[in-house]
Chain A
Amino acid sequence: MRARNTIDQLATDVEPLKSAPPEDVQAAQTERLLKAWKTPTGWRYWSAVNNSEVGLWYTAATFFFLLFGGVLALLMRIQLARPRNDFLSAEVYNQAFTVHGSVMMFLFAIPVFEALAVMFLPQMLGARDLPFPRLSAFGFWAFLLGGIFLAGSIFFNAAPQGGWFMYPPLTSSYQKGIGPDIWLLGFSFIEIAAIAAAVEMIVGSLKCRPPGMRINLIPLYVWYVLVASIMILFAFPPLIAGSMLLEVERAFGWPFFNPAGGGDPLLWQHLFWLFGHPEVYIIFLPSVALIAMIVPTFARRAIVGYTWIVLAAIGTGFLSFGLWVHHMFTTGLPGISLGLFSAASEAVAIPTGVQIFCFLATIAAGRVVRSVAMLFSMGALVIFVLGGLTGVMVAIAPFDFQAHDTFFVVGHFHYVLIGGALFPIFAACYYFFPLVNGKQLSEKLGRVGFWIAFIGFNVAFLPMHVTGLRGMPRRVFTYEAGIGFDALNLTTSIGAFVLAIGIGVIFWDLLRPKGKQPYSERNPWNAGTLEWTQEMPGKPWGIRSIPEIDSRYPLWDQPDFIRDVDEGRFYLPDAEEGLRETIVTSPVDATPEQIQRLPGPSFITLIAALATGGFFVFGTFHWWWPALGSLVLATGVIIYWLWTGTGLIPEKHEKDAGLGLTLPLYSSGPSSVSWWAVVITMLADFTAFMCVIFGYFFFWTIHDDFPPANINGPGVMWPTIAAITLLLAWASTLLARRWNRMDWPTGFYAGIVAAVVLALAGTAFLLAGPWFTRLDPTSHVYSATVWILVIWTAFHIVIGVVMHGYCAARRIARRMTARYDSEIVNVAVYWHFVALTVVITVAVIAGFPLLTRG
């Protein structure tokens, strides 16, 4: 049966092999699979790219940062235990709260979701690994480097102290040290890693599901991860764009946020909260996802309201992008904005409520089995609901006028984040730990840890609400005695230490030596989802054979499921060529499309992360030459990585995937994972670009004359010529793709050469506009914005030219052919986005002034 001929396959459920392959065949298959998926040993262990290794490192690193941020919190609580305390100086305290917030958000809450997803997503999808294992590894190393750089800065008294929200002008003109640069560049680096992980998650959950796992059978965890990852795509770019503008202002004096040059500090707030609010849900949704896996298992029944939950998760994701202004209620907005964003903020309560009541209904409809995982889940619910309710309160603008920037808000969001993320993550630790090393955690220690943490948490954070309304602002390193803050703060500090003891117990349980403890039985909780097919301890191959799924809970509903998987009665039970492989399926119906070869261990990911990191670290210190050197090195390393590790032409066109299914080993275009990755990455990139465009129009709304009457530039002529030239470059790229597919090399090379020449000429024309009209980017925000748009576009074109060169080289080296053409297909996708960027840039910088000047 051919892969394309799928109608029959859908109509008739594919059954596993009726009888197991002979034992010697099974043994040989097992041996080949183990060899292909062998985790490197010794120092080469760190070259592993397998999701189980990378996911584990990733999770461990985020937990380390959780402890780091927690210790900072305790130091702050010692300082605030008494009024007028001098345990920490103002300078250290301000660094501590900035780093605490930043670490918890960027180095714990978001990455832990990515880490857990890297670790468990393939297991839940019955895939051997995620589609881009090396990208995951790269993301992890980038995260680790950036995280150490950021967290470490506090030991040199050089940490940022502008708050995790980094409001200019405090962080632009009023902090001279490198603290803000560390924040801006360090986190941009980490955000790029986060976007890389998001691309991996999206493609993984859309394209690497097991055959038969149609869209209505996807495990809820995967749904949530998909929603949160898509949110990352659109939420992180505003911050990256904002960080770029702020760093350019700090380094070169372009006045984006400086009113003296026509800038406005509020633009930063818009960009920051356009990221910052969805970010809360990016943290919250994947944590709810953990609950959504735990509750059915311990209720011993399928989730109630699956469709409701999925729609609610998607709805929450959508709504969360329309709420950011509620962080700015006290900036002097008109009443209509206050009302609108108050109402929008309240609306989120509805999908959130739906999810909670689905869980309650599942608990009610099932027979609950006691467990620590369930205890943490219920504790999470109790805490989170209270945080949600105080959220409903602060969303009402008049109340926010009082509560904003006080300890009330601090109490509110700790209820949300600890109830909505930390407790679910602890629940997941107890639930999933057997999948990590085959051992169970102690139910006894877990229960003790839970109660200490739960009580400590409430003692610490409940009084904060009162502290805030009695008038104590946030982010204060000290307070006056005798005006109503003393006893409350002391209580909070005591509670914080109790909470810390509880968390300490949990960490002890995680870290205590377990050598003598026997391995857990397989599927210890009698769960129904795919990840629990794993053996104890797990094998590196992810799954022995890739199953055909026809239930949301295959372990409950599909008879003899584990046996069939184990005996290789499903797809891909073998690694005949000794290569790592997994099945790629269609996004909606999960129809098998291709066998994807996956890369093995490599240090290239670590080297690439070091080189990329070098650019950001050297940039922080304004060491431009080493920074440039790192950038060139990083480009070289990444090209080498792509050249040797991607788009490899298989030795045969297709192979037998088992169960009578033959699948191609290569595809390009929409059926390939790489095409999806390019599209998704470019959506994020394009979002960042649109944020800069938003900046242009934002400045237009706040100025009476924008562009200013005395600035004439960039004119119409140069930008128009540039646009025409660059669109021709785009057209040439498309022709090159077409002629390559027609196997007409001359045409392909001609198209590439034409595209390169036109692109470079177009870039020069584009830069000529502001250059010849002498726009001085330091003098006014208009000029600065035009320049940044032009430079952004030019930078993308230059990257596109490098891609042209890469395609030509691949063709010359016969690593790309008429049939195996994913390089030029993906580059063409990139150029679609470049063309769009060019058109918008030119329309704005050349066209818009014509409109405003009439």
Chain B
Amino acid sequence: MRGCVALFTLTILSGCTGVQSALDPAGREAGTIARLFWWMTIGSMIVWLGVIVLLIYSVRTRAESFTRRKARIMIVGGGVVVPVVVLTVLLLYGLAPIPAMLAPAPPGSLKIAVSGEQWWWRVHYLPPGQAPIPSANEIRLPVGEPVEFHLESPDVIHSFWIPPLGGKMDMIPGRKTRLVLTPSRTGVFRGACAEYCGASHALMAFSVVVQQREEFAAWLSHQSQPAESPQELLAIQGAHLFLANGCSACHTIRGTAAAGVVGPDLTHVGSRLSLAAGILPNDPNAFERWIGQTHDLKPEVLMPAFHMLPPEDTRALAAYLEGLK
């Protein structure tokens, strides 16, 4: 498992071109849109080259041979007839997928509530008939099933976007929006906030893991469990420091006294693929940096930096958090 996580992390940080690409679709919706894109691009290139050819022809042609009739054909044909035909076809083809994209997921589908907050993602899995399972900054999905996202924001407008899976949907304070995505292959992808939401808008990403149904179910069941108590000495110290330094005022670690709700739920933070909303790898060193240099890493973020802590305390905290698998 650890090796797997390391591999995933490596993929996120250095990895291949496709993790955030809409042109490398891994979902039904993204596939539809990518196909639409390629057809429109081919059409656009034909029209564009056609206009350039006409321009060259217009410059070269002899004025005498360009009759009024030709002029009328050019204006009416190029300006009215061709656009009307092309656009009608395009609208029929391009708008056809809308109803399917906007339809709610079938009953019994997995629902996930995601709240965009400056600058991280609050996630609640809502499995049918169970209590919500909190998480943050990472989305895991079973392959081949439609998933319905319930999107909202308590502060400013964000936009929830996983390019390889489908289009984006805004998260608007005071409103609830919905997005249905259907992943079609397993893999690790990357999502990002697409609506400018303040200083660290650029630093608001998340990892997306599409898994087989059984893997996903096992993972989700683990996520619903409280955190395991730390075993190593350093981590045990860290657990004390977490409460003593007031981290618990904002963060929840289920199974401990930490029950703050301002910031991300950290119950299984060590098992996530990245830290701080997709901007750091998940390793002890990154935890230390995040705790001590919070605002260098993410300007204007609400979390105060704990640079006053002695290095050994920071190390202990990092060891504890990293161990929360």
Q: Are A354 and B79 neighbours in the complex by a CB distance under 8 Å? A: yes
Is A43 interfacial (CB 8 A cutoff)?
no
Cβ contact of B74, chosen from A355, A357, A382, A479, cutoff 8 A? A357
B279 to chain A: closest residue by CB: A480
- 1/0 per residue, CB under 8 A from A, across B296-309: the answer is 00011000000000
**Interface residues of chain A: helix, strand, loop or mixed (majority):** helix
Is B13 interfacial (CB 8 A cutoff)?
yes
20 contacts across the A-B interface (CB closer than 8 A): A90-B299, A259-B173, A259-B175, A263-B174, A339-B98, A347-B87, A353-B78, A353-B83, A357-B78, A364-B66, A385-B52, A392-B40, A405-B194, A470-B163, A471-B19, A476-B202, A480-B190, A481-B14, A483-B15, A484-B21
Least CB distance from B200 to A in Å reads 6
Given contacts A90-B299, A392-B40, A476-B202, contact A330 B167 (CB under 8 A): yes
Least CB distance from B318 to A in Å reads 22
Given contacts A94-B199, A264-B174, A399-B37, contact A361 B51 (CB under 8 A): no
Q: Are A363 and B55 neighbours in the complex by a CB distance under 8 Å? A: yes
Is A774 interfacial (CB 8 A cutoff)?
no
Given contacts A382-B55, A475-B201, contact A332 B19 (CB under 8 A): no
Q: What separation, in Å, do the CA atoms of A378 and B56 have in the docked complex?
A: 10
Q: Are A360 and B97 neighbours in the complex by a CB distance under 8 Å? A: no
Q: Are B33 and A406 neighbours in the complex by a CB distance under 8 Å? A: no
Stretch of A69-77, A300-308, A558-566, A782-790 contacting B (4+ beta carbons < 8 Å): A300-308
Residues of A within 8 A of B220 (CB): none
Given contacts A170-B198, A335-B98, A389-B47, contact A469 B299 (CB under 8 A): no
Q: Are B299 and A332 neighbours in the complex by a CB distance under 8 Å? A: no
Cβ contact of B51, chosen from A356, A398, A405, A469, cutoff 8 A? A356
Given contacts A259-B173, A338-B98, A364-B58, contact A358 B14 (CB under 8 A): no
Is A156 interfacial (CB 8 A cutoff)?
no
Residues of A within 8 A of B101 (CB): 398, 401
Q: What separation, in Å, do the CA atoms of A161 and B71 have in the docked complex?
A: 50
Q: Are A368 and B59 neighbours in the complex by a CB distance under 8 Å? A: yes
Residues of A within 8 A of B61 (CB): 364
| Given A308-B79, A396-B90, A398-B94, 19 extra CB contacts under 8 A | A169-B155, A174-B118, A175-B198, A304-B75, A308-B75, A330-B159, A346-B91, A353-B78, A353-B83, A364-B66, A366-B63, A368-B59, A385-B48, A398-B167, A399-B33, A402-B33, A402-B167, A406-B194, A480-B279
Residues of B within 8 A of A396 (CB): 36, 40, 90-91, 94-95
Residues of chain B whose beta carbon lies under 8 Å from any beta carbon of chain A? 13-15, 17-23, 29-30, 32-33, 36-37, 40-41, 44, 47-48, 51-52, 54-55, 57-59, 61, 63, 66, 70-71, 74-75, 77-80, 82-84, 87, 90-91, 94-95, 97-99, 101-102, 118, 155-157, 159, 161, 163-164, 166-170, 172-175, 177-178, 190, 192-203, 205, 278-279, 299-300
Q: Are A332 and B95 neighbours in the complex by a CB distance under 8 Å? A: no
Q: Which 9 A-B pairs have the closest CB atoms?
A: A401-B167, A259-B174, A471-B20, A354-B79, A476-B202, A332-B177, A396-B94, A364-B58, A389-B44
Residues of B within 8 A of A356 (CB): 51, 78-79
Q: Are A357 and B79 neighbours in the complex by a CB distance under 8 Å? A: yes
Cβ contact of B17, chosen from A312, A399, A470, cutoff 8 A? A470
Is A16 interfacial (CB 8 A cutoff)?
no
- 1/0 per residue, CB under 8 A from B, across A584-622: the answer is 000000000000000000000000000000000000000
Cβ contact of A361, chosen from B74, B83, B94, B202, cutoff 8 A? B74
Is A393 interfacial (CB 8 A cutoff)?
yes
Q: What separation, in Å, do the CA atoms of A404 and B48 have in the docked complex?
A: 22
Q: Are A469 and B21 neighbours in the complex by a CB distance under 8 Å? A: yes
Is A473 interfacial (CB 8 A cutoff)?
yes
A171 to chain B: closest residue by CB: B156
Q: Are A305 and B75 neighbours in the complex by a CB distance under 8 Å? A: yes
Least CB distance from B194 to A in Å reads 4
Residues of A within 8 A of B98 (CB): 335, 338-339, 397-398
Residues of B within 8 A of A390 (CB): 44
Q: Are B201 and A402 neighbours in the complex by a CB distance under 8 Å? A: no
Q: Are A476 and B201 neighbours in the complex by a CB distance under 8 Å? A: yes
Residues of B within 8 A of A266 (CB): 172, 175
Given contacts A90-B199, A169-B173, A471-B20, contact A398 B84 (CB under 8 A): no
Q: Are B194 and A404 neighbours in the complex by a CB distance under 8 Å? A: yes
Residues of A within 8 A of B19 (CB): 471, 483-484
Given contacts A330-B169, A365-B63, A482-B13, contact A174 B174 (CB under 8 A): no
Is A91 interfacial (CB 8 A cutoff)?
yes
Given contacts A470-B23, A471-B192, contact A90 B95 (CB under 8 A): no
Given contacts A301-B63, A401-B101, contact A392 B173 (CB under 8 A): no
Residues of chain A whose beta carbon lies under 8 Å from any beta carbon of chain B? 89-91, 94, 161-163, 167, 169-170, 174-175, 259-260, 263-266, 301, 304-305, 308, 312, 330-332, 334-335, 338-339, 342-343, 346-347, 349-351, 353-358, 360-361, 363-368, 378, 381-382, 385-386, 389-390, 392-393, 396-402, 404-406, 466, 469-484
A397 to chain B: closest residue by CB: B98
Residues of A within 8 A of B70 (CB): 361, 364
Least CB distance from A508 to B in Å reads 28
Given contacts A477-B202, A480-B205, A483-B20, contact A402 B37 (CB under 8 A): yes
Residues of B within 8 A of A360 (CB): 51, 54-55, 58, 74, 78
Residues of A within 8 A of B14 (CB): 481-482
Residues of B within 8 A of A472 (CB): 20
Q: What separation, in Å, do the CA atoms of A436 and B61 have in the docked complex?
A: 34
B166 to chain A: closest residue by CB: A401
Cβ contact of A470, chosen from B20, B30, B97, cutoff 8 A? B20
Q: Are B95 and A473 neighbours in the complex by a CB distance under 8 Å? A: no
Cβ contact of A350, chosen from B83, B201, B278, B299, cutoff 8 A? B83
Q: What separation, in Å, do the CA atoms of A227 and B40 have in the docked complex?
A: 32
A332 to chain B: closest residue by CB: B177
Q: Are A471 and B190 neighbours in the complex by a CB distance under 8 Å? A: yes
Residues of B within 8 A of A381 (CB): 51, 55
Least CB distance from B190 to A in Å reads 7
Q: Are A163 and B190 neighbours in the complex by a CB distance under 8 Å? A: no
A300 to chain B: closest residue by CB: B63
Residues of B within 8 A of A263 (CB): 174
Q: Are A470 and B21 neighbours in the complex by a CB distance under 8 Å? A: yes
Q: What separation, in Å, do the CA atoms of A356 and B51 have in the docked complex?
A: 9
Q: Are A331 and B172 neighbours in the complex by a CB distance under 8 Å? A: yes
Residues of A within 8 A of B18 (CB): 484
Least CB distance from B201 to A in Å reads 6
Residues of A within 8 A of B17 (CB): 470, 483-484
Residues of A within 8 A of B199 (CB): 90-91, 94, 161
Q: Are A332 and B194 neighbours in the complex by a CB distance under 8 Å? A: no
Q: Are B167 and A386 neighbours in the complex by a CB distance under 8 Å? A: no
Q: What separation, in Å, do the CA atoms of A780 and B216 have in the docked complex?
A: 45
Given contacts A368-B59, A393-B44, A405-B195, contact A170 B157 (CB under 8 A): yes
Q: What separation, in Å, do the CA atoms of A347 and B88 have in the docked complex?
A: 10
Least CB distance from B67 to A in Å reads 9
Residues of A within 8 A of B55 (CB): 360, 363, 378, 381-382
Residues of A within 8 A of B170 (CB): 330-332
Residues of B within 8 A of A368 (CB): 59
Q: Are A170 and B197 neighbours in the complex by a CB distance under 8 Å? A: yes
Residues of A within 8 A of B198 (CB): 94, 170, 174-175
Residues of A within 8 A of B279 (CB): 480
Q: Are A469 and B22 neighbours in the complex by a CB distance under 8 Å? A: yes
Q: What separation, in Å, do the CA atoms of A183 and B19 have in the docked complex?
A: 37
A378 to chain B: closest residue by CB: B55
Least CB distance from B16 to A in Å reads 8
Q: Are A484 and B20 neighbours in the complex by a CB distance under 8 Å? A: yes
Least CB distance from B316 to A in Å reads 28
Q: What separation, in Å, do the CA atoms of A355 and B74 have in the docked complex?
A: 11
Q: Are B177 and A354 neighbours in the complex by a CB distance under 8 Å? A: no
Residues of A within 8 A of B91 (CB): 342-343, 346, 396
Least CB distance from A660 to B in Å reads 40
Q: What separation, in Å, do the CA atoms of A260 and B77 have in the docked complex?
A: 54
